[in-house]
Chains A and B, each alone.
Chain A
Amino acid sequence: MLREIGVSSVEELFHDIPERFRNARFSLPPPLSELELKKELAQLANLNANLDDYACFLGAGSYRHFIPSVVEHIIGRSEFYTAYTPYQAEVSQGTLQSVYEYQSLICQLTRMEVSNAGMYDGSTSAAEAAMMACAITSRNTVAVLATVNPTYRDVLDTYCRGKSLSLVALESESSSLPADCACLIIQQPNFLGYFEQLDAYVQKAHDAGALLIAIVDPTSLGMFKPPGDYGVDIAVAEGQPLGIPVSFGGPYLGIFACRKEYVRRMPGRIVGKTVDVDGNPGYVMTLVTREQYIRRERATSNICTSQALMALAAAVYLAAVGKRGLRQVAELCYHKAHYAARAIGKLKGYSLVFPQPFFKEFAIRCPVPPSQINEVLFRERIIGGLDISHLIDNGMLLCVTEVNTRQDIDRLVKTLGSS
């Protein structure tokens, strides 16, 4: 090959790199063979307390749900996972049609009119929705309800500072919206688990000429009223609960759906159905003039590589559980969480913080700091709830889903009672 190229060594091919920078020193550990690699990484994996061996009651934006094996098997097909963005539609119909299925399923689930092909995660979806609302309304203030997940608010803050937008926290229902408000962002159910008066907020936002962005829990929609039925303008969600493992925080999936009139303002990829030259149906990426590779600095977002494989997982999950299954999952979460809450509420020193209806997460007040309680729980192979004592005195946020058995819940309650 060198001869064909007309050089005598590979080094010659690097002659454009100035001499002084070439042959930099790299101090790296010696390489591992496949056998050694598997061993070393298994050792690292074994240093972690994996949740297959623990009862876990953490939620707060990442949720353990049952994942049918079929999901892993389908996304594990290398025709899906070793492809890239479907730039050549003729040999990417598998990805493209799956995205069309995903978009359709998300619309059915949320009762919104259009969905894109997915964003990075729930919080970046919310931030992009805020940017989009500012572009639509030509306004520069983003209002966020104080009960939105604090990490989402942090991400919103980062994005807003970047774009010099002001981010205003709305403390309660009675607070009024700031002038120049582009959107109001609320979470349903909220970070603390309970349901907000979403209709009132939609009204409030619309009265002020602002858009209402709702962050929803996709699993809750198996049972609870979807954002489309509230007249929400943009619905975003963390898609991880739909067939994606908790994986220490990623990769996840940002669900992003909105009213049809805003489709040309949407960030991210969108797949549309069309026909080929023979009149056969097929799928392509469409509305690409919104995207960075065509529109550069005037694009609706900078997003390029997203989380396509995770969108496929969500589509397969939704199809596998289907109409009946999603409702069943939601009801299991609801009843188990309420069973746990009732039992904990009866324990001496413990109380439920909020009286409002909730889905699968709820805040409790503990008799002692939650960090102490979590240590006791951990010794019993239970991972307790999120410590929210910075928000609520001795507060803990618990999450119960269908993967928590009655035995797990009873063990939790018993250990709480004795600590």
Chain B
Amino acid sequence: MKRHCLLPDISQPGRIGCSLPDLDVPSGDLPPEELLRQELELPEVSEVDLVRYFTALSKLNYGVDTGFYPLGSCTMKYNPKSHEDIARLPGFTALHPCQPEESVQGALELMYRLQEYLTEVTGMDATSLAPLAGAHGELAGLLMLKAYHEGRGDKARTKILLTDSSHGTNPASVAMCGLETGVVASDASGDLGLKNLESMMTEEVAALTLTMPSTLGLFDPKINEIAQLVHERGGLLGGDGANLNALLGQAKFGELGFDYVQLNLHKTFSTPHGGGGPGSGPVCVRESMVDFLPTPLVTGDNGRYRFSSPPRTIGRIATFHGNFNVMVKAYAYARSLGPKELKRISEDAVLNANYLKEKLKPYYHLPYDRTCMHEVVFSGKKQKAKGIATLDIAKRLLDYGLHPPTVYFPLIVSGALMTEPTETESKETLDNYIAAMKEIARDAEENPEILHSAPRNTPVRRLDDARAFRQLDLRWEIKSQKK
């Protein structure tokens, strides 16, 4: 098959990539002509050509199974294969969401147990599995706190405070709830500026939402003071729990003073990222917010399970009950972890990140030089002085067959290299990465051209984003061949 071809290029009239049954009932009248489609132009591809085409495409990809993937904030840990097999059992995939509850007791029990597990791990009082990704969970959390304040007759609280290091979905979710954002600047050590919070925490503020640990990979030691201040002023403390990996088996959101937190099962609970989903973004809440949880919840009573809806629910946020098949994988993961194993995850994740930090600190600027949690954020400042952009460093890593860290995020670190090794990587893998990063630092001094022109060993080289934007080409087209 030729490189660079697309489906229409391998399409031949009359071919098909599967076989379908003949009609086994008498056919009836056709519907009125005006409802019918005139033409349908889709590719016609044989099964073998289709398989070769997509297999060739898959080889252009890099996944966790390909190699080290320290994409910060994304927790690209290895996903055990047994979970994939389990998730494919027909007893999980061949269930219709509207089947009678008595016929899906196993599925409901699994959801119930996962709710309980997540509630325990976060130290909260209840969990809804309905949200379909992290950002969707954020939205649910914000809708709940809006309902909570309105339920108390307090309509003046229309503002959500966030930190300047927060993930882009945080402010975007606030906007989707029709609320305003206020940005609390971080202090010199990368923590929330308590003085800033003090002055901003007015009666307009519905909540402060914090990522814990932060996207700088730091745990804010003042968490207790922060929670107290927010609560004293009548606000709620919301958590973006995307970084739960660092806290597993160590500390609980509930005990830290959070009123709600959204989790990313596709990160912490090891469900594969799928090239950008599916995920699952449960929300876990304290007692005061239980009544507002998105519907449905699963309740259990004497070994019988059923769907229920909290009395003052924010309502339905997705068509059905959440990304069930992702929950199956997350539950399988959870069941393989007791308290000891859970703690081992955060320990290894934090150990790995600190190891990278110490080993690379001499070569890359470290804006916050302190113990980090599950990820470490460097900046490309040293190299920038030599005319090397952070992007050049990232692209050069590709030539080593490594996936780069998250770059240019969080925004408060200029030219950020946000590196999250995760707990599933060995010392040898880290050493290999460290060696590559050292060589890159040296090349930045001695051989900058090799960085500017990277990557060279990838299926394509640097792509022209500006052209993609200016000359929008978002699809191919097969025109109808009507006679």
Distance, CA A190 to CA B324, complexed state (A) = 26
Distance, CA A245 to CA B38, complexed state (A) = 29
Least CB distance from A68 to B in Å reads 4
Least CB distance from B89 to A in Å reads 4
Q: Which residues from chain B contact A394 at a C-beta distance below 8 Å?
A: none
Distance, CA A244 to CA B352, complexed state (A) = 38
Does B42 count as interface, using CB distance less than 8 angstroms? yes
Knowing A60-B98, A79-B65 touch, does A296 contact B221 (C-beta < 8 A)?
Answer: no
7 A-B pairs with C-beta separation under 8 A: A42-B86, A44-B91, A95-B61, A151-B319, A158-B294, A282-B460, A286-B469
Check if A322 sits within 8 Å of B133, measured CB to CB. Answer: no
Check if B65 sits within 8 Å of A82, measured CB to CB. Answer: yes
Does B393 count as interface, using CB distance less than 8 angstroms? no
Check if A329 sits within 8 Å of B107, measured CB to CB. Answer: no
Q: Which residues from chain B contact A25 at a C-beta distance below 8 Å?
A: 339
Task: Report B154-190 CB contacts with A as 1/0, cut-off 8 Å.
Answer: 0000000000000111011111111001000000000
Residue among B218, B318, B359 with most chain A CB within 10 A: B318
Distance, CA A271 to CA B274, complexed state (A) = 16
Knowing A249-B319, A309-B278 touch, does A88 contact B92 (C-beta < 8 A)?
Answer: no
Distance, CA A366 to CA B224, complexed state (A) = 61
Instruction: From B27-35, B194-202, B435-443, give the one contacting chain A.
Output: B27-35
Check if B176 sits within 8 Å of A323, measured CB to CB. Answer: no
Does B232 count as interface, using CB distance less than 8 angstroms? no
Does A187 count as interface, using CB distance less than 8 angstroms? no
Q: Which residues from chain B contact A49 at a C-beta distance below 8 Å?
A: 95, 99, 103-104
Pairs of residues from A and B, 4 with the lowest C-beta to C-beta distance, nearest first: A45-B91, A249-B320, A47-B106, A309-B274
Instruction: From B203-211, B282-290, B378-386, B473-481, give the one contacting chain A.
Output: B473-481
Check if A104 sits within 8 Å of B319, measured CB to CB. Answer: no
Distance, CA A15 to CA B321, complexed state (A) = 39
From A91, A157, A295, give the contact of B403 (CB < 8 A).
A91
Check if B266 sits within 8 Å of A305, measured CB to CB. Answer: yes
Knowing A16-B219, A305-B273, A308-B274 touch, does A45 contact B172 (C-beta < 8 A)?
Answer: no
Size category of the binding interface on chain B: 35 or more
Does A367 count as interface, using CB distance less than 8 angstroms? no
Does B90 count as interface, using CB distance less than 8 angstroms? yes
Q: Which residues from chain A contact B100 at a C-beta distance below 8 Å?
A: 374, 378, 383
Knowing A154-B315, A309-B277, A357-B32 touch, does A37 contact B336 (C-beta < 8 A)?
Answer: yes
From B66, B96, B264, B477, give the contact of A62 (CB < 8 A).
B96
Distance, CA A127 to CA B437, complexed state (A) = 45
Check if A108 sits within 8 Å of B132, measured CB to CB. Answer: no
Check if B275 sits within 8 Å of A322, measured CB to CB. Answer: no
Does B317 count as interface, using CB distance less than 8 angstroms? yes
Check if A302 sits within 8 Å of B173, measured CB to CB. Answer: yes
Check if A323 sits within 8 Å of B40, measured CB to CB. Answer: yes
Check if B37 sits within 8 Å of A308, measured CB to CB. Answer: no
Check if B85 sits within 8 Å of A22, measured CB to CB. Answer: no
- Give the residues from 376 to 406 in chain A that come closer than 8 angstroms, CB to CB, to chain B: 378, 383, 386, 402, 405-406
Does B62 count as interface, using CB distance less than 8 angstroms? yes
Distance, CA A97 to CA B60, complexed state (A) = 10
Task: Report B395-423 CB contacts with A as 1/0, cut-off 8 Å.
Answer: 10010000110110100000000000000
Check if B171 sits within 8 Å of A45, measured CB to CB. Answer: no
Distance, CA A2 to CA B350, complexed state (A) = 11
Check if A320 sits within 8 Å of B50, measured CB to CB. Answer: yes
From B23, B89, B172, give the contact of A41 (CB < 8 A).
B89
From A41, A44, A72, A323, give the contact of B42 (CB < 8 A).
A323
Q: Which residues from chain A contact B11 at a C-beta distance below 8 Å?
A: 322
Knowing A154-B315, A274-B464 touch, does A297 contact B350 (C-beta < 8 A)?
Answer: no
Check if B99 sits within 8 Å of A58, measured CB to CB. Answer: yes
Besides A84-B275, A272-B473, 7 more A-B contacts (Cβ < 8 Å) are A13-B351, A32-B336, A80-B61, A101-B6, A221-B37, A247-B324, A305-B266
Check if B25 sits within 8 Å of A28, measured CB to CB. Answer: no
Distance, CA A121 to CA B316, complexed state (A) = 13
Distance, CA A272 to CA B288, complexed state (A) = 46
From B15, B136, B321, give the contact of A249 (CB < 8 A).
B321
From B36, B177, B273, give the contact of A224 (CB < 8 A).
B36
Check if B277 sits within 8 Å of A307, measured CB to CB. Answer: yes
Does B259 count as interface, using CB distance less than 8 angstroms? no
Distance, CA A91 to CA B59, complexed state (A) = 9
Q: Which residues from chain A contact B54 at a C-beta distance below 8 Å?
A: 74, 77, 98, 316
Size category of the binding interface on chain A: 35 or more
Does B338 count as interface, using CB distance less than 8 angstroms? yes
Q: Which residues from chain B contact A286 at a C-beta distance below 8 Å?
A: 465, 468-469, 472, 474
Least CB distance from B63 to A in Å reads 3
Q: Which residues from chain B contact A79 at a C-beta distance below 8 Å?
A: 58-59, 61-63, 65-66
Chain B residue with Cβ nearest A294: B168
Distance, CA A398 to CA B217, complexed state (A) = 52
Instruction: From A172-180, A205-213, A333-341, give the one contacting chain B.
Output: A333-341
Does A372 count as interface, using CB distance less than 8 angstroms? no
Q: Which residues from chain A contact B277 at a C-beta distance below 8 Å?
A: 120, 251, 305-310
Q: Which residues from chain B contact A308 at a C-beta distance below 8 Å?
A: 274-278
- Give the residues from 228 to 275 in chain A that come closer than 8 angstroms, CB to CB, to chain B: 229, 238, 245-252, 263, 269-275
Check if B477 sits within 8 Å of A123, measured CB to CB. Answer: no
Q: Which residues from chain B contact A223 at a C-beta distance below 8 Å?
A: 36-37
Q: Which residues from chain B contact A107 at a C-beta distance below 8 Å?
A: 475, 477
Q: Which residues from chain B contact A21 at a C-beta distance below 8 Å?
A: 223-224, 251-252, 255-256
Least CB distance from B360 to A in Å reads 11
Does B20 count as interface, using CB distance less than 8 angstroms? yes
Check if B319 sits within 8 Å of A61, measured CB to CB. Answer: yes
From A226, A269, A284, A325, give the contact of B18 (CB < 8 A).
A325
Q: Which residues from chain B contact A98 at a C-beta distance below 8 Å?
A: 54, 57, 275
Knowing A38-B85, A302-B139 touch, does A378 contact B103 (C-beta < 8 A)?
Answer: yes
Distance, CA A27 to CA B120, complexed state (A) = 7
Least CB distance from A331 to B in Å reads 7
Chain B residue with Cβ nearest A343: B25
Does A327 count as interface, using CB distance less than 8 angstroms? yes
Check if A48 sits within 8 Å of B274, measured CB to CB. Answer: no
Does A418 count as interface, using CB distance less than 8 angstroms? no
Q: Which residues from chain A contact B291 at a C-beta distance below 8 Å?
A: none
Check if B97 sits within 8 Å of A62, measured CB to CB. Answer: yes
Least CB distance from B238 to A in Å reads 14
Distance, CA A106 to CA B252, complexed state (A) = 44
From B26, B66, B464, give the contact of A276 (CB < 8 A).
B464
Check if A342 sits within 8 Å of B4, measured CB to CB. Answer: no
Least CB distance from B46 to A in Å reads 10
Q: Which residues from chain B contact A83 at a C-beta distance below 8 Å?
A: 61-64, 273-275
Q: Which residues from chain B contact A1 at a C-beta distance below 8 Å?
A: 351-352, 355, 427
Least CB distance from B70 to A in Å reads 11
Distance, CA A81 to CA B66, complexed state (A) = 11
Knowing A94-B58, A151-B316, A284-B463 touch, does A84 contact B117 (C-beta < 8 A)?
Answer: no
Knowing A80-B63, A246-B95 touch, does A298 contact B175 (C-beta < 8 A)?
Answer: yes
Does A64 count as interface, using CB distance less than 8 angstroms? yes
Check if B133 sits within 8 Å of A305, measured CB to CB. Answer: yes
Distance, CA A246 to CA B35, complexed state (A) = 28
Least CB distance from A22 to B in Å reads 6
Chain B residue with Cβ nearest A49: B103
Does B369 count as interface, using CB distance less than 8 angstroms? no
Check if B274 sits within 8 Å of A80, measured CB to CB. Answer: yes
Does A137 count as interface, using CB distance less than 8 angstroms? no
Distance, CA A337 to CA B474, complexed state (A) = 37
Chain A residue with Cβ nearest B166: A296
Does A355 count as interface, using CB distance less than 8 angstroms? no
- Give the residues from 14 to 50 in chain A that come closer than 8 angstroms, CB to CB, to chain B: 14-18, 20-34, 37-38, 40-50
Check if B477 sits within 8 Å of A104, measured CB to CB. Answer: yes
